Chain A
Amino acid sequence: MATIATPEVTASPVRHAGSGASALRQVFVIVAKDLRAELRTKEAVNAALAFAIMILVLFSFAFDPAADETKMFAGGLLWIVFAFAGTLVLNRSFARELPNDCLDALIAAPISGAMLFLGKALASYVLVMAVELVALPVFGIFYYVRWYDHFWQMMLVLALGTWAITVVGTVFSALTVNIRLREVMLPMLTYPMLVPALMASMQLTADLVNGKQIWGPDFIWMKVLISFDILYTAASLALVEIVLVG
């Protein structure tokens, strides 16, 4: 048995000032960790990329890429590919914290649930965007589609649409991480939720691919996409702490 040493102790002083700066730094720590871990193994991005190319190949049998009509809905096709391939990456987002109970340590750490979520969402965003930026030229080649006519508009749609997929996928990744049938529940919850964002992205991409700009009458879809992104990001930041800590 042991004896108590000295009873005089107080709580350690708070170690640093400026909670705003350190919160962002913590987000960066999470982003860096996720990216480093993923780039070591490249499991998720390889699977997602292979899957994306596979879908593009399969679709080429379902629709004739050379036909004029295909150009009409090629834009929509692209987002189906992105949504499905993206889910492979997003599933891993919180699932990678399961081995060795790493999620426990993250919850115990002095990082807020919202910052943890943001870090993971940003890391997934980088990975999904990387997959998409490789799949996009392949898509252009396979389907004879000029996607670069309005390059920066295309990038803008890609950026906003991918964020929608990422934010919804990450928050549901957190929700489904510890439950049964995780691989089934994540898509089951995510896809219906993404309908408006995917519709908007599909319409805008279809426009861009057919030579129209997004500033035209379809600009309303940009508004839909931006509203979707803002609403769901806000809801996720507000609710993710409840999901992580009962």
Chain B
Amino acid sequence: MREKILYLLGVAAFVILARDIFVIARFPPEASQGNAFKIIFFHLPAWAAAFTAVGASLVTSILFLVTKNFQYDAIAVASTEVGVAFLTVGLVTGSLWARPIWGIWWTWDERLTTTLVLWLLYLGYLMLRRAIEEPTQRATFAAVVSIFAFIGVPIDYFSIRWWRTQHPAPVFFSSTGSFPHDWSVVMGWNILAMLMLATVIVAVRLEQEQSQRELDSLRRLAHAF
């Protein structure tokens, strides 16, 4: 039953994204940046999904520390992995965006820089988990790092933003300027689709975590004999 729901959710997400691609392709090119601007339809939702994912990581990390229930740890690691994946999408789409407009593969635009720093922060979380064998210690330490990392999110966002106002760099996503209504609608659908996709991946990853934990405990039992 659960698998069927996940399957449907995943298919629905893909259908929405596919349809949106068609719709977006037919939109007129944007005034200053041409068709490249349309990357925003994937760049922004990826960011929304990433932010939701790391938020989930924070909440479940705190819940794990309070309850010691490993289910929360599994959700924390799954959502952080998904968060890092979507941050990567954000970085790649940002890069693909910059190339046709500025001819460069990277710009220290405030949002891209923030994405990069968060990507490094949560990559640290994932690397830490790799470095700890014992499951309880791994879950506890990872939860602590997740809390510290999340404190960094607002501080990073504002600091980098202030830095950019003082040291201007090529900016390709201005939040000013009007966004036509039908574009906003498509954007909304894309955000929904990305979130659905994120949920599916987290659920799949959760099952994998569960199996891994069972394997681990069986292995330890075997060693004990």
Contact = CB atoms under 8 A, between A and B. Distances in A.
A246 interface: yes
A200 B163 CA distance: 9
Interface string B101-120: 00000000000000001001
B31 interface: no
B171 interface: no
A203 B163 contact: yes
A117 interface: no
Contacts of A199: 159-160, 163
B141 A193 contact: no
15 contacts: A176-B128, A179-B141, A180-B133, A181-B131, A185-B127, A189-B124, A192-B120, A193-B121, A195-B152, A220-B162, A224-B158, A231-B155, A243-B140, A243-B141, A243-B144
Contact of A195 (B123, B141, B151, B156): B156
Given A185-B127, A220-B162, A246-B137, A239 B144 contact: yes
B65 interface: yes
B39 interface: no
B148 interface: yes
B179 to A, nearest CB: 30
Contact of A188 (B127, B136, B149, B162): B127
A28 interface: no
Interface in A142-179: 171, 175-176, 178-179
B147 interface: yes
A228 B156 CA distance: 10
Interface string A202-246: 010000000000000010110010011001100100010011001
Given A200-B159, A220-B162, A192 B121 contact: yes
Point out which of A192, A200, A227 has the most chain B C-beta atoms below 10 A from its C-beta: A192
A222 B145 CA distance: 25
Contact of A235 (B65, B151, B156): B151
A231 B151 contact: yes
B131 A179 contact: yes
A193 B147 contact: no
A195 B117 contact: yes
A140 interface: no
B204 interface: no
Contact of B152 (A179, A180, A193): A193
B135 to A, nearest CB: 11
Nearest to B117: A195
B126 to A, nearest CB: 10
B18 interface: no
Interface in B78-100: none
B176 to A, nearest CB: 22
Contacts of A176: 128, 131
A196 interface: yes
A242 B132 CA distance: 16
Nearest to A175: B141
A175 B155 contact: no
Nearest to A189: B124
Given A242-B140, A243-B141, A235 B148 contact: yes
Contacts of A227: 155
Nearest to B142: A175
Nearest to B149: A193
Point out which of A196, A203, A227, A231 has the most chain B C-beta atoms below 10 A from its C-beta: A196
Contacts of A192: 117, 120-121, 124, 152
B155 A242 contact: no
B159 A242 contact: no
Contacts of A193: 121, 124, 148-149, 152
A165 B85 CA distance: 29
Interface in B189-211: none
Contacts of B140: 242-243, 246
A185 B129 CA distance: 10
| 4 tightest Cβ-Cβ pairs between the two chains A and B | A192-B120, A196-B159, A192-B121, A189-B124
